[in-house]
Amino acid sequence: MSNLIADWRDRPTHRKVWTLAAPMILSNISVPLVALVDSTVIGHLPHAHQLGAVAVGSSLYTFLAWAMGFLRMGTTGFAAQAAGRSDGAALRQILLQGLLLAMGLALVLGTLGVPLSGVALHFMQPSAELDQLTREFFHTRLFGLPAALASYALVGWFLGTQNARAPLAILLTTNLINIVLNLWFVIGLDWGVVGSARASVIAEWSGALLGLLLTRKALRAYPGHIAWAALKVWQSWRPLLAVNRDIFIRSLALQSVFFLITVQGARLGDATVAANALLLNGLLLTAHALDGLAHAVEALCGHAIGARDRLALRRSLVVAGGWSLIASLGFALLFLLAGHLFIEMQTDIQNVRDTAFVYLPYLAVLPLVAVWSYLLDGLFIGATRAREMRNGMLVTVILLMPFAWALQGLGNHGLWITFLLFMVLRSLTLGAQAWWLKRNDGWFTGAAH
């Protein structure tokens, strides 16, 4: 306990955490704000199926894009450890490998996206209007996929070098352009749901191009030259691909849970899928804000592990963990006391509002349950311990299945209870592995996978 108090009182660690976390919280919050603006703009169109189309179409796109989240997470861990060693050549190689992977994966996913979306919509059994609008929205969004994946690699690389300003610039540029164009295309030009998708595509390309420009300045702090010959050697790709493979499996399992919740919600009717979309915007807001602290953990813990500094690792976790708890309490109170205003702001369709109000208490509980999984994700990403993240997520999904099946009869209540259980199990499986690694000094010994 005395160590815990001493760690919490260490002011330099607080400064390091907030130097990274503050800009990342600002930039991260801009991501759900875009979803919020999308929902608010579309939510004030006359029909529930229009809001439902953006919700389902965004879910399909997010499933593809976020399953590639390893491009950010894998890049961050390796870049943080290379920065800890002051290895400029390795930093250049990691950046280029991340961007090349992003382009290759975007081509594959863009090709597979259209037939896969058709299969997904078949299982959702949406209304005819919802089906048609969802397809139009999703097919348009696919044009922004290469830029979105490139931005993942760029943001991950910048975070690894403890540069939080560049991700802030990338994400704010992307999201401000998205907001402005959404208002113009949907309301000004009356392009409806497809206008919202076009705004997102233009915004994603703007952010990616800005990120590429910012890498030149960032690399000046780390002298070195890229070994072009190494890019042709399989051995130089193996560490990054091994970590990315494991994070991909983990991300796929995670996104499958989110996607199945959308599928099940769609079967409960247009009003329910629209209401769940509004509530999940609250979860997105919370998750992205708390992820700002988790990103600080990634960079600081990765740097500490690269420098083999046990004290810095422990202090970073204690300080970031304390602030994460405080922030999650704040969000829980916000949704408990002002959740109805949050819903009313997003739509004036009364049956969607009424449906969302019923499930607001679940949204208030979520931040307190989910915060620990975000924080532990940051630790494992910084340590490039992707194998443990993969195993934890697979165990979580397996344990969740019988509960999800048993709770089906409760309708949308069962869906939200299942989601809360999912977050609890995520935290427990990661926490158990973190305890095991600490007990055996595993953060600093053995190969990270």
Distance separating alpha carbons of residues 156 and 127, to the nearest angstrom: 39
Buried b (16+ CB within 10 A) or exposed e, 328-365: beebbebbeeebeebbeebbebeebbebbeebbebbbe
Can you list the residues of the chain whose pLDDT is less than 50? 447-449
Residues 6+ apart with CB under 8 A from 377: 294, 389, 430
Residues 6+ apart with CB under 8 A from 176: 30
Distance separating alpha carbons of residues 117 and 416, to the nearest angstrom: 24
Model pLDDT, residue 414:
92
Model pLDDT, residue 44:
66
Distance separating alpha carbons of residues 137 and 55, to the nearest angstrom: 10
Lookup result for tokens 């497809």:
194
Model pLDDT, residue 33:
66
Residues 6+ apart with CB under 8 A from 375: 290, 293, 294, 297, 317, 320, 321, 324
Q: Where are the alpha helices (DSSP H) in 268-349?
A: 270-306, 310-346
Task: Output the pTM of the full model.
Answer: 0.71
- Nearest Cα residue to 347 out of 54, 39, 59, 53: 39
Q: How far, rounded to the nearest angstrom, does the alpha carbon of residue 78 sit from its chain's CA centroid?
A: 19
Length of the chain: 449
Q: How far is the CA of 152 from the CAs of 107, 208, 299, in angstroms?
A: 15, 9, 15
Structural contact between residues 275 and 352, judged by C-beta atoms closer than 8 angstroms: yes
Model pLDDT, residue 447:
45
Model pLDDT, residue 327:
92
Model pLDDT, residue 61:
81
Model pLDDT, residue 367:
93
Helix (H, G, I), strand (E, B) or coil at 187: helix
**Tokens matching residue 281:** 């915007």
Model pLDDT, residue 234:
60
Q: Where are the alpha helices (DSSP H) in 10-47?
A: 11-43
How many Cβ atoms sit within 10 Å of the Cβ of residue 15?
A: 11
Q: How far is the CA of 148 from the CAs of 31, 44, 124, 247, in angstroms?
A: 12, 27, 26, 18
How many Cβ atoms sit within 10 Å of the Cβ of residue 122?
A: 10
